[in-house]
Structure 1
């Protein structure tokens, strides 16, 4: 998923709003994947015959959004390090506390959603990202490609893709792609096409051979690259700005929204009775309600506070001090992506 570009020239203090929009987009897909598992829905009609809705999720969503989320974690890690070092802060100690806090939160979240991503992310961050932060970008890129390939070949993807995607995200951020999307638009366009064409072919293969985990994993990686690059291209257009206005606040509160979604689904399931059922229409409706609620709540919250609730807690632990959060009487208007020139 890394894009071959020239040397980076970035401002460490700048917030990458297109990245927030992409993270918000990834959250939408993650919820669609996680909701049936959280509610313990029945994915098959009869043994060997998946429900059509579950099969559709396998072809369009599953293994497609998890790679984006993992890749973005590596990107955010690099941006955090750059900003910390630019401000002469003790970056390594802060990162260690940051990942340790994420592990604690992930452990607690596991009690609600076994198989959640925060705990593996924290472990992989400590074991992979932190040591790799001292390597040159070309070495990180090579290791990321090798680790991703190993995750596909050895384990048919899943959580074993996390280390490689983390490294690819770290390497891509080091090249400054997200700080200067306009100058990399052609490369991102080629990535979109290069991901979509083989991704659709492999997805067709997955449709007729759903038991082949390697095909599903590779198809997911290609389509994840296509999805992510398409979003980055769209948010820089007038049409895409409307969606970005909703996605960017969700992405800025990704940690809060990820955990909140689990709680909301568990509460709603007490009334909807999705457990063991094939009520996929109700499940999709619930997903839309949760996403709409999170989009509105995130935008409302960020007009009043600088960080989401869990983001604020995470930041306080990271810097080992209470970080100011309320915006006071001056509310900042959220504008995720600058309007393209006329």
Structure 2
């Protein structure tokens, strides 16, 4: 049992990888990049960098993050059930605390994901925790299909991805991933093959990215290719480098996601992003923010077991002060940190 409670490293890597893509997509909306030019009628169509962001990044990483949240929810529930008589009470506190943080984050970033995650967690994941895993999987598949066909993705894709992630965790796929390389390779091949026609479909109406079925379908299948491809790479000699690159960001994803908003807002104001599209500055800002966060996360995690907001979230969940420094309360290490 203790071995299964070890941190599932591939989840940290996937979470850090998704964080990078989400930042690239979020900088424009957070800074209102080019909004003044649009209002003045000086923008006629998407620039080449925007086209490639739409084709390779936008709509690809949000499903990954939602899927990982569902996995983490289920892992945490299993862990909490072993150490608390009312594990769903912990989950309710966890989601309420996330919602309060999300409500604060909405003030500076109205398009943020934490508040919707908390709301859908309460409405979908908590009730689903009473269902058998096959029903959760069926509900996730149906919800995801509806999310990309009926409403063209976006926020209403969250429930389906939550349930799919929860089902994958309840079938214990993350814990057995090292024994499922063949199945992972098959899934990658299917996702990659589907991504080609889906991308061509999206390219035909790329200016409607985010508001079309084609962009939702392409985003979802490409997200699947990214996830399964990265999981395959984690079975190669590149695993160590990928872990060093992405895991520190992923282990402090909550802290990094929220603090990036403040840094991007300040930089966008200082560089006057709203006056015109500044794609070179956008990519440079994303690289600078991620590099700084990687350094700070790596240094922080040498001394502490959780990021600052991750630690506060745990304290709110357990309704007590959880040990933060490494080396304190060894028995606490059995807690499933992959659910963070």
Pick the aligned partner of 1:17 from 9, 15, 22: 9
Q: Does 1:175 align with 2:171?
A: yes
Equivalent position of 1:124 in the other structure: 120
Retained in 1: the 8 A contact 2:143–2:159?
Answer: yes
Q: Which moved more, 1:206-215 or 1:174-183?
A: 206-215
Equivalent position of 1:321 in the other structure: 320
1:89/1:30 CA distance change after superposition, 3 Å: farther
Q: Does 1:69 align with 2:65?
A: yes
Q: Does 1:199 align with 2:195?
A: yes
CA shift for structure 1 position 328: 5.6
For 2:68 and 2:100, how far apart are their aligned partners in 1?
21
CA shift for structure 1 position 48: 5.7
Equivalent position of 1:42 in the other structure: 34
Retained in 2: the 8 A contact 1:10–1:179?
Answer: no
Equivalent position of 1:238 in the other structure: 237
For 2:64 and 2:191, how far apart are their aligned partners in 1?
13
Retained in 1: the 8 A contact 2:314–2:322?
Answer: yes
- SS of match in other structure, 1:20: helix
Retained in 1: the 8 A contact 2:31–2:269?
Answer: no
- SS of match in other structure, 2:59: coil
For 1:252 and 1:51, how far apart are their aligned partners in 2?
34
Q: Counterparts in 2 of 1:175-324, with a 5 A limit?
A: 175-210=171-206, 211=208, 213-324=212-323
For 2:287 and 2:231, how far apart are their aligned partners in 1?
23
Q: Does 1:155 align with 2:151?
A: yes
1:215/1:46 CA distance change after superposition, 3 Å: farther
User: For residues 161-200 of structure 1, what are the alpha-carbon distances to aligned partners after superposition, in whole Å with 9 as ceiling and x for unaligned?
Assistant: 0000000000001111111212111111111111112112
CA shift for structure 1 position 240: 3.4
Retained in 1: the 8 A contact 2:33–2:275?
Answer: yes
CA shift for structure 1 position 11: 5.1
Equivalent position of 2:74 in the other structure: 78
Q: Which moved more, 1:82-91 or 1:22-31?
A: 82-91
CA shift for structure 1 position 10: 9.2
**Structure number with higher helix proportion:** 2
TM-score, structure 2 as length reference: 0.91
CA shift for structure 1 position 14: 2.0
Higher relative contact order (CA 8 A, sep 6+): 2
Equivalent pairs counted in the alignment come to 322
Q: Which moved more, 1:11-20 or 1:300-309?
A: 11-20
CA shift for structure 1 position 276: 3.3
Retained in 1: the 8 A contact 2:249–2:297?
Answer: yes
- SS of match in other structure, 2:5: coil
Unmatched runs of 5 consecutive residues or more in structure 2: 329-340
Retained in 2: the 8 A contact 1:151–1:157?
Answer: yes
For 1:91 and 1:36, how far apart are their aligned partners in 2?
39
- SS of match in other structure, 1:50: coil
For 1:132 and 1:32, how far apart are their aligned partners in 2?
32
For 1:286 and 1:47, how far apart are their aligned partners in 2?
22
Q: Which moved more, 1:231-240 or 1:295-304?
A: 231-240
For 1:233 and 1:327, how far apart are their aligned partners in 2?
31
Q: Which moved more, 1:145-154 or 1:280-289?
A: 145-154
CA shift for structure 1 position 13: 1.9
TM-score, structure 1 as length reference: 0.90
For 1:92 and 1:11, how far apart are their aligned partners in 2?
24
For 1:132 and 1:12, how far apart are their aligned partners in 2?
23
- Cα RMSD of the aligned pairs, angstroms, is 1.9
For 1:56 and 1:76, how far apart are their aligned partners in 2?
31
User: For residues 264-303 of structure 1, what are the alpha-carbon distances to aligned partners after superposition, in whole Å with 9 as ceiling and x for unaligned?
Assistant: 1112223222123111001100000111111111111011
